[in-house]
Chains A and B, each alone.
Chain A
Amino acid sequence: MHDLNPTDVNKETDVTVDTRDDAKTTATSTTKAETTTKADAKAASKARRGKLFADLAPLIGLAVLAIAFVLVGTSSGTNMGYAVETLINQSVIIIIIATGAIFIFAMGSFDISLGASTLVAAMVAGLVHNATGSLWLMLGAAILTAVATSLISATLAAVFNLPVFVTTVAMLSVLGAVAAALVQTTGGAQIRIDRAFSREYDTLAVKLIVAAVFLALCVFLFNYTRLGRVEKLVGGNPMTAKLTGVSMKLTAIAAFGIAGLGVGLGAFLTVLRTPTLTVTSASDIGMNILVAMVFGGMVISGGPRSRIYAAIIGGISMALLNQTMSIMLQGMAGGAGIAQMVRAVLFLAVVWLAASGFRTKVLPR
Chain B
Amino acid sequence: MADSVTNLEELKRLAPPAELGRAPVVEGNQGLGWLTDKLSAFAEAKTPLWWWIVFLPAAFAATVIFPVCLFYQVFTGVGVWGNNHPVMWGLDIVNFIWWVGVAHAGTLISALLFLTKQHWRTTIGRMAEAMTVFSVMMAGLYPAIHVGRAWFDWFMFPVPNSNGLWPQFKSPLMWDVFAVNTYLVVSSLFWFMGMIPDFAVLRDRSTTRIRKTIFTFLAMGWTGSARQWHNYEKAYVVLCGLCTLLVFTVSSIVGLDFCTAQIAGWHATIFPLYFVIGAVFCGFGMMLVLLIPLRKLCNLENIITKSHIATVAKLALVSGLIIDYIYMMEFFIAWYSGDPYERWVFGHRLFGHTYMVMGWILIGINVCVTQLLWFKKIRSNLWALFVIGLLINIGMWSERFVIVVGSLYQDFLPANWGKYMPTIWDIGLYVGTLGAFFMLYLLFVKFLPVIAISEVKGVMPEADPHHPLGGATKGAGHE
Does B bind A? no
